[in-house]
Amino acid sequence: MFTEFFYELRNAKVPVTLREYLTLLEALDKGVARYNVNEFYYLSRSALVKDEKNLDKFDRVFGKCFEGIEFTAEDDVHEIPEDWLKQLTEKFFTEEEKAALEAMDWDELMETLKKRMEEQDERHEGGNKWIGTNGKSPYGAHGYNPAGVRIGQDKNKNNKAVKVWDKREFKNLDDGLEIGTRNMKVALRRLRRWARDGNAEELDLPDTIRSTAKNAGYLDLKMVPERHNSVKVLLFFDVGGSMDPHIKVCEELFSAARTEFKNLEYFYFHNCLYEEVWQDNVRRRADKLGTYQVMHTYPHDYKVIFVGDATMSPYEIVHPGGSVEHWNEESGESWMQRMLSVYPKAVWLNPVPEGYWDSTPSIEILKQIMSHRMFPMTLEGLERAMKELSR
Amino acid sequence: MKFEGTDTYVATEDLMVAVNASITLGRPLLIKGEPGTGKTVLAEEVARALNKPLIQWHIKSSTKAQQGLYEYDAVSRLRDSQLGDEKVHDISNYIVKGKLWEAFEGDESPVLLIDEIDKADIEFPNDLLLELDRMEFFVYETQEQIVAKNRPIVMITSNNEKELPDAFLRRCFFHYIQFPDPDTMRDIIGVHFPEIQKTLVSEALKIFYEVRDVPGLKKKPSTSELLDWLKLLMAEDMPEEILRERDPNKLIPPLHGALLKNEQDVHLFERLAFLTRRENR
């Protein structure tokens, strides 16, 4: 019935499956949507889309597949305010034509205007409906309908001057390739390591039965601590300078990691790791922490995640005194090596897209130091990194 | 049996279609949306409108799927065996029914609200797949199959803290509660505060949408916060002139505590107020 629509959705990367399609048909069969395009739209959206980030894609496909199904020529042109028209005439008509227009009556004027806009549209836009988004139409976001000129915000809600799916209200929810905290949490979950420690709060049934039996049937309750994630993580963030464009993704990673790992410590560094790190960026000059101190405080079983773009001058890594901020006695490279020998489980997450890594020498150097355990900060990269850490 | 909103709940057309589809087909309805847009209230209102009992199952981070079905109370059985209680011979005395069982048992199909499903462990929805799909489950201890007498109307809310598994999503209808436009918002306010003055509402709404439009807010105020704020304004008998006056020195709306729940957001507002004052000088 709507097979084409179904495949169009799949082509547009809306994850619909046969099961959902059958649900939609079943609902139609039972008369949930009463032969009304709007209800059909709402129903199919509810049955086929399961994540708000796909709503915009769905609206686009729906608009494409069912274009022209709805009544088009509603005669509400008269609602157009005078000054809108004025703007339009200025945009689409030449001076002589404007003079000629003076003589036309309202209907004629609208007809001419419509034609002119259609011509204009074909020439420039290839029939794109959402003319408003292209900045050409004075009608604002909702654009105009090829069949008639309409004003975007209609006061009467029942008078559907604009088709709901054409409004594309969900546009800003489509998050494309960007990764959000929840996805990160799912990826970080790979690092879980369950362990029981802390207060004994759960009833240990097997042990209770065993000890009760041993106790000649006299009840002997045994408790165990609840299971929780015992993985321990040190996070090192590069801050400032070239990292500024990546702040958002770093914040997201940070908040995802904070809720996922109970044993999480975080530190900041600039460009490359040297003899000092800090925990508070506001007081970074005053409250510095020796990198040695970090290594001596946290045992070897901590897993280390570096987050940084690794984009700097190669001198900052390989030469003593190469730091842009202070005089470092030892090179960043030797500090990195020291860190890696203390914490064998370590990865580097790089917000710079993987394709650009080859063209920046410093990234190459750090990647060598990390023995290729550098991963891009995408969902897929994060998963690879967590896999590497949990090995 | 159709849901068309109630005297205290304004349902948009798309929401009605989604709710009715899930009622007709007996599939769960998953509701997402900004906090405070009336996700949990929806289930209560549907139950009220259809005159059905409401069973609420609030999910916490420690909730397990099994708890919704039943729990076997081993400790009290052991204790009873110690005391020589006769009850001890029948294991079914120690099966504690969960919310789902309760919902399956009712004589008329109830509305079952599974609130904030994303709070639970990531495997939680997967553990309920079969139970929500076929509306039946098996009790190992007593070897009995529990089948729903009437399919309950299942409403599930999520705040998007965790992504839900695809297999689970495929079995649900989905609705995203869009933040209401000013017109719908006026309807919602009319439903909650019928005696409120029109002018106060329009001034308050103007401020409210302005606040929502301020870039960089950590938590945008939502419908429930607006309703709280209006309640406060009414209680304080705030004259509408105060709302109307756009004095840059008073950029922070009166009684802002109901709208801005975050210290950083209040600071942001104060900073903006400071900036406008400086520009005006």
Q: Comparing C-alpha atoms, which of A158, A144, A76, A80 is closest to residue A115?
A: A144
- Cβ atoms B52, B111 nearer than 8 A: yes
Amino acid identity, residue B98?
Answer: G
Of A42, A50, A189, the CB nearest to B13: A42
Q: Which of residues 140-169 of B touch A (CB under 8 A)?
A: 160-163, 166, 169
Which residues from B are below 8 Å from A27, CB to CB? Answer: 21, 24-25
pLDDT band at A132 (very low <50, low <70, confident <90, very high): very low
CA end-to-end span of chain B: 63
Chain A residues with CB-CB distance to B under 8 A? 15, 17, 19-20, 23, 26-27, 30-33, 38-39, 42-43, 45-47, 49-52, 55, 157, 164, 169-170, 173, 182-183, 185-186, 189, 203, 205, 208, 212, 218-219, 221
Tell which wins on pLDDT, A288 or B117.
B117
pLDDT band at A130 (very low <50, low <70, confident <90, very high): very low
CA–CA separation, A49 and A364 (whole Å)? 42
CA–CA separation, B154 and B67 (whole Å)? 17
Residue with tokens 């960089």: B216
Residue A362 pLDDT > 80, yes or no? Answer: yes
Amino acid identity, residue A306?
Answer: F
B88: distance to nearest CA of chain A, Å?
14
A171: distance to nearest CA of chain B, Å?
12
Which DSSP state fits B253? P
Q: Comparing C-alpha atoms, which of A187, A328, A211 is closest to residue A261?
A: A187
Residues B174-183 have a mean pLDDT of 85
Q: What is the DSSP string of A5-49?
A: HHHHHHHTT----HHHHHHHHHHHHTTSS-S-HHHHHHHHHHHH-
Residue A78 phi, psi dihedral angles, 5° rounding = -70, -10
- Of A7-16, A241-250, A316-325, minimum mean pLDDT range: A241-250
Residues B199-207 have a mean pLDDT of 81
Of A19, A33, A51, the CB nearest to B17: A33
Q: What is the DSSP string of A188-237?
A: HGGG--EEEEEEEEEE-HHHHHHHHHHTTT-----EEEEEEE--EEEEEE
CB pairs under 8 A between A and B: 86
CA–CA separation, B162 and A183 (whole Å)? 8
Residue B81 phi, psi dihedral angles, 5° rounding = -65, -35
- Cβ atoms B112, B154 nearer than 8 A: yes
Tell which wins on pLDDT, A136 or A224.
A224
**Residue-averaged pLDDT of chain A:** 72
CA–CA separation, A201 and A208 (whole Å)? 13
Burial environment of residue A199 by CB neighbours within 10 A (0 to 12, 13 to 18, 19 or more): exposed
For the four alpha carbons of A91, A95, A97 and A103, in that order, the dihedral sign comes to positive
Predicted confidence (pLDDT) per residue in A136-188, tens digit: 433 433 333 333 343 333 333 333 334 556 665 555 544 444 455 566 666 67
Whether B21 sits inside 8 A of A47 (CB atoms) is: yes
Residue A129 pLDDT > 50, yes or no? Answer: no
CA–CA separation, B174 and B191 (whole Å)? 26
CA–CA separation, A361 and A367 (whole Å)? 10
A13: distance to nearest CA of chain B, Å?
14
Residue B113 pLDDT > 90, yes or no? Answer: yes
The reported pLDDT for the residue numbered B270 is 76
Residue A122 pLDDT > 50, yes or no? Answer: no
Tell which wins on pLDDT, A94 or B254.
B254
Predicted confidence (pLDDT) per residue in B41-85, tens digit: 899 999 998 889 999 999 988 888 888 999 888 888 888 888 888
Predicted confidence (pLDDT) per residue in B155-174, tens digit: 999 887 767 888 888 888 88
Predicted confidence (pLDDT) per residue in A58-89, tens digit: 888 888 887 765 543 344 444 445 555 555 55
Residue A203 pLDDT > 60, yes or no? Answer: yes
CA dihedral B122, B127, B129, B135 (to 10 degrees): -140
Which DSSP state fits B105? H
The reported pLDDT for the residue numbered B157 is 92
Q: Comparing C-alpha atoms, which of A234, A224, A223 is closest to residue A277?
A: A234
CA–CA separation, B32 and A272 (whole Å)? 42
- Cβ atoms B49, B41 nearer than 8 A: no
Residue B179 pLDDT > 60, yes or no? Answer: yes
CA–CA separation, A371 and B234 (whole Å)? 66
3-state secondary structure of B25: helix
**Residue-averaged pLDDT of chain B:** 83
Tell which wins on pLDDT, A340 or B178.
A340
Q: Chain A contact for B79, CB < 8 A?
A: yes
Which residues from B are below 8 Å from A203, CB to CB? Answer: 74-75
Residue A324 pLDDT > 90, yes or no? Answer: no
The reported pLDDT for the residue numbered B84 is 81
Residues A177-201 have a mean pLDDT of 63
Residue with tokens 């199959």: B145
The reported pLDDT for the residue numbered A178 is 43
- Stretch (H or E) spanning B182: helix B182-192
pLDDT band at A387 (very low <50, low <70, confident <90, very high): confident
pLDDT band at B8 (very low <50, low <70, confident <90, very high): confident
0.90 exceeded by the pTM?
no
Measure Cα distances from B263 to B37, B211, B267, B270 in Å.
22, 15, 6, 11
Whether B17 sits inside 8 A of A43 (CB atoms) is: yes
Whether B163 sits inside 8 A of A183 (CB atoms) is: yes
Residues A267-284 have a mean pLDDT of 81
Of B75, B160, B166, the CB nearest to A182: B160
